[in-house]
Structure 1
């Protein structure tokens, strides 16, 4: 916990009690870093055997990515193990044929259907602010959770440049 706090000492964050995880076959502590109000502001990962290997990130995915890079720099894993391969995720690219929106528990959700598709991809504006500025006809790439049904959860929506 002290190693994690030391990485962000200028921000005066406190660390939550760590969880022991296996990241790239390395025993690792994972914890949230909170501000004075108790809000989670960052995440940290610390190598169990080498406490000086510490990585932080504003999201869990950023933290893990930074941690894997630190492990590779210190020779604990191969460079090829630095890439995170999310299981259960896919991507689809196409033009938006239809956009619907709904407010669910105070968050605006956008439901996107691509041309020649029958599935809607649901994404919250809180998760990806790009969803707010999309229009019918825009060419996009959607990262989504694999599954069955007419509505699938999306993680990101990226408009083509």
Structure 2
């Protein structure tokens, strides 16, 4: 038993349960969100996430505010205007990809949400500016997601 200054005793098992639940709720996390254009008006967003070992496949969804663009959860319904415009799928390597057709001009917010079972949702939001969008290629994904690696590669000749 643990006791506090007010004399209240709490069973040790209770504290262990609280720590276990809190640890499980924060076990999954979104590591990075990278995006590029597949065609002139089509967007691809890759959401890389981390899970604890031996986890079942999580549910992934992409949202814009309260609007559900698409999800891998069969119990949730996609917002009607996006049925023919957005498709989310999970790929090997803990990646959830959204393909989004007819990206509007200007800036748009996209949020990747990862949920494992009944635990809390991990999410990350990115602002996509259509004018600044690079075509999808290994190089453009490297530029967006690995700025530290890119900086190292660019300064390597100077160091040598």
Larger relative contact order, structure 1 or 2 (CA cutoff 8 Å, min sep 6): 2
Q: Which has the higher helix share?
A: 2
Q: Which has the higher strand share?
A: 1
